[in-house]
Amino acid sequence: MLSLVMILVLIVLIYNFIEYKESARTTAWSGIIDKKISEVIVYADDELPVNPQFNILVLRKPFKNIFLQRLVESEKKFSGAAKNKIKDLFKEYNLRDVAINKLDQKKPYLIAQGILELTVMDQEEAAPKISLFLSHPSQQVYLEAQYAMVRLKGFEGLNFLDTFASKISEWQQLRLLLSISFLPEDADITIERWLGSSNDSVVIFTLKLIKKFQLLSFYSKITELFDASSSEIKVKAIQTLMSLENPETVAYLSAIYNDQPDDVRVEILRVIKVSKDHCCTDLLKQEFFEGNTSGIKVNAAQALYSLGYNEYLSSLTHREDLSEESIQIIKYALQEKVC
């Protein structure tokens, strides 16, 4: 028994020693690489100091892997000429092959890493191979592939939305939106198709796209979403309509108000509050007294306050038939301290 314990202790010690050596080597190599990157950025090509140690190490595959990782990390920190020099290093030392080889690995994290490296280094010619991973079973991989396609191909890279069935997270939607700088002339046909998607997150992303590029021609198409869409889509549709700044929007939303579920009604009330449109005063008063939830009543009271009905709200607090809850809501709307 004692000998078994000794063997286990020895194994742990050996493992820790190997880990320590690996960590120390990575730290040392990172320092050498960072120095090389700094020199390339600071000095002109004909002024670069000779670095024989780097030239020897860069022939080793493990060193190249760390070199590529450091380049990707550095690329995010710089812009302009400095960023271009980092990409020149990527080409000069054939690091594209290192990244491409990762796409042939079986471990998802390595594939995702390779996709990211090719994306950051703007390797558009790798897009066809990356597109093969859009349907990969690993979420880590297909999310990175989606981002890569949009970053490398722009709006065209969003074609995966036609068949994508899973939910697109808020973070992923943001990444994709930030990667699109312009729309092609024929984008309307595709965008209209996505508005009719059975995937709610695709519809929501499309609404964000419409909002970003102020696609006013889609106003009527957005109003059609209130017929049979989920509450989440309706809320985003309300926000998108308001961003398009059509003077008829508030009146339209108040007209469909009674047909909406409570969470959508709350969003409409918030919109009225921000718009300060007096066309909805009667609706606000009605919802303060008859709203289905406290949230509706609170937003109705806040909207009335925003429209300047301070005295009206204050007068209500003196009514004997008003519930304690309603009085507290009014005080909250009037920005008074609720005891």
- Lowest-confidence range among 33-42, 102-111, 147-156, 330-339? 330-339
- Three-state DSSP at 270 gives helix
Overall average pLDDT of the 220-243 stretch: 94
pLDDT in tens, 168-198: 999 999 999 999 999 999 999 999 999 999 9
DSSP designation for 280: G
> Rounded to whole angstroms, how far apart are CA atoms 117 and 115?
5
331: exposed, middle or buried (C-beta count within 10 Å: 0-12, 13-18, 19+)?
middle
| Tally of structural domains, the chain | 2
Q: What is the pLDDT of residue 339?
A: 43
End-of-domain residue from the set 118, 135, 162: 162
The band of 51, judged by pLDDT with boundaries at 50, 70 and 90, is confident
What pTM was computed for the model? Answer: 0.85
End-of-domain residue from the set 162, 194, 210: 162
- Three-state DSSP at 339 gives coil
Residue 121 lies in a domain: yes
**Nearest C-alpha neighbor of 91 from the set 114, 68, 63:** 68
Residue 119 lies in a domain: yes
pLDDT in tens, 301-326: 999 999 999 899 988 888 888 888 98
Q: What is the pLDDT of residue 40?
A: 80
- Lowest-confidence range among 78-87, 151-160, 184-193? 78-87
Q: What is the pLDDT of residue 151?
A: 96
Residue 65 lies in a domain: yes
Residue 14 lies in a domain: no
Domain with 339, as residue range(s), is 268-339
Rg for the chain (alpha carbons), in Å?
29
> What tokens does 87 get?
């990409």
Residue 217 lies in a domain: no
Residue 75 lies in a domain: yes
Overall average pLDDT of the 209-231 stretch: 94
Q: Of residues 56 and 147, which shows the higher confidence score?
A: 147
End-of-domain residue from the set 162, 193, 214: 162
Asked if residue 58 has pLDDT above 70, the reply is yes
Q: What is the pLDDT of residue 19?
A: 58
Average pLDDT, the chain: 89
Q: Of residues 25 and 154, which shows the higher confidence score?
A: 154
- In the chain, % of residues over pLDDT 90: 64
- In the chain, % of residues over pLDDT 70: 91
Residue 117 lies in a domain: yes
The band of 22, judged by pLDDT with boundaries at 50, 70 and 90, is low
Q: What is the pLDDT of residue 18?
A: 56
Q: 71-84 as b/e, with b when 16 or more CB fall inside 10 Å?
A: bbebbeeeeeeebe
DSSP designation for 317: T
> How many DSSP H helices and E strands does the chain contain?
19, 0
End-to-end CA distance of the chain: 69
Asked if residue 50 has pLDDT above 80, the reply is no
DSSP designation for 227: T
Positive/negative CA dihedral, 95, 100, 104, 107? positive
Residue 302 lies in a domain: yes
- Lowest-confidence range among 54-58, 104-108, 295-299? 54-58
Asked if residue 293 has pLDDT above 50, the reply is yes
The band of 338, judged by pLDDT with boundaries at 50, 70 and 90, is very low
Q: Of residues 46 and 219, which shows the higher confidence score?
A: 219
Q: What is the pLDDT of residue 337?
A: 44
pLDDT in tens, 130-139: 999 999 999 9
